[in-house]
Amino acid sequence: MKNNKLVKLFLRRYAEGVVAYCVLAVVLVLFAFNQADFFTVYGPQSIFNQVITLCVASLGQTVIILTSGIDLSVGSLIIFTNCVAATIYMPVTNMVGGNIVAGGIATVVIVLIIGVLAGLFNGCMVVYGRLQPIVVTLATGSIFSGLARYVRPTPGGEVPSAFARFFTGRVGGVIPMSAIILALVIVCIWVPYRRSRSGQALYAIGGNEKAAFLNGIKIEKAKLTAYCVAGLCAAICGVLLTAQTRSGDPTAANNFTNNSIAAAVLGGASLAGGKGSYFGSIAGAMTLSLIVGLLIFWKISSYYQNLVQGIILILALSVGFFTAYAKQKREKAKAIAEEKEAA
């Protein structure tokens, strides 16, 4: 009985993400047919390695979207942290005595702190500067990408292969590390944050900021925390990107900003705020990144990649319109039938 209630609560809370899971299921089935080693240990490993960066980036984006903001600086921040990680790895390792494990840990900690500080800067501009998030992150995005070029004027940097193997490999020969990291991000960052006072406040602020304020919710603190969490997620994504590419590239064309927004929205988040969850955003992010893989399997020109992503986004968002339209039509037909009966 209690279990039933929990399931209902779960479904109600995450109803918006269901569309994304339907699309994801289709994509995964197609993957299973096309990828020869889908059912071996390599299948999940390659899938999680493909989706992990966008998943983490879209989690950060979701937090901001919940406050009815939007973060246009995510992509630049990811590239900035990526460049910092690739540049400082070896110097830091030498500083801690040449041990690449200790050096790696120190690098990751430094990069995560940079990410949180960058997020805090965004947050301060929004909260204390009282500016709109879209214009703040527009400007800070330019600042972060300038900083990335400053840290790493040319693509490169040195990252030990062990670091790359650790983040992209498997634990115990079976479970992909990327899957564990994604689980850790959800369990250690999202869930505690969502259950904290600030995390609960996010939904209230996004729903109606004025009402939230009048009810004594600490809006400033909640927003500052939200931007810090978003910065942290971007930095984690930067670290993972460093592990995958083993270098930092300030000029890399990156779609993280656009795709993270698309993933969150595909997962049921509303740009008006107050709606969205990790559950949906992850499905959205997985769908968007796996479609690229599918097109490669089918030997479809990469020119179609953006087209397919864009159309899926528009179709997923139109579902609400078409269901409402169908309902309206049914009701109209019913009303006409009733009128006829009455006559």
Partner 1 sequence: MEATEKKLDLKQLLTSNGPRIVLMILALYLVSGILEPNYLAPSHIMSVLVLCSFLGIICIGQTLIILTGGADLSVAYSVTFAACIFAQTTKTTGNGMIGFAATIAVGILMGLFKGIGVAVLRITPMVMTLATNAILMSCTFLYTQGVLKGESTALVTALAKDSFLGIRYCVLVWAALGILTIFLLRKTAFGRKIFAVGCSSRVTDLSAINTKAVLIGVYVIASVMMAIAGILLIGHLGYPNYTMADDYQLISIAAVVIGGTSILGGHGGYLGTMGGVVIIYLIQSLLIILNMAEAGREIVNGAIILIILLAYGRGKKQSA
Least Å from the CB of residue 128 to partner 1 = 10
Least Å from the CB of residue 302 to partner 1 = 8
Least Å from the CB of residue 105 to partner 1 = 29
Tell me the angle at which helices 74-95 and 100-127 cross, rounded to the nearest 10 degrees: 140
Which of 283, 259, 262 is closest to 27 using CA atoms? 283
Indicate the residue among 129 and 192 with the shorter CB distance to partner 1: 129
Indicate the residue among 94 and 215 with the shorter CB distance to partner 1: 215
What backbone phi and psi angles, to 5 degrees, belong to 156? 150, -145
Indicate the residue among 38 and 213 with the shorter CB distance to partner 1: 213
- Rounded CA-CA distance 240/234 in Å is 10
Indicate the residue among 91 and 320 with the shorter CB distance to partner 1: 320
Which of 241, 260, 231, 237 is closest to 58 using CA atoms? 260
Residues in contact with partner 1 by the rule CB under 8 A: 70, 72, 125, 129-132, 134-136, 138-143, 145-150, 153, 209-210, 213-214, 219, 258, 261-262, 265, 270-272, 301, 303-311, 313-314, 317-318, 320-321
- Rounded CA-CA distance 130/124 in Å is 9
User: How many C-beta neighbours within 10 Å does residue 35 have?
Assistant: 17
Indicate the residue among 92 and 261 with the shorter CB distance to partner 1: 261
**Running DSSP on this structure, what letter comes out for residue 156?**
B
Least Å from the CB of residue 233 to partner 1 = 20
Longest dimension (CA), the chain: 92
Residue at token pair 């991000």: 185
What's CA 160's distance to the chain center, in Å? 27
Report how far apart the first and last C-alpha atoms of the chain are (Å, whole number).
47
Least Å from the CB of residue 144 to partner 1 = 8
Least Å from the CB of residue 301 to partner 1 = 8
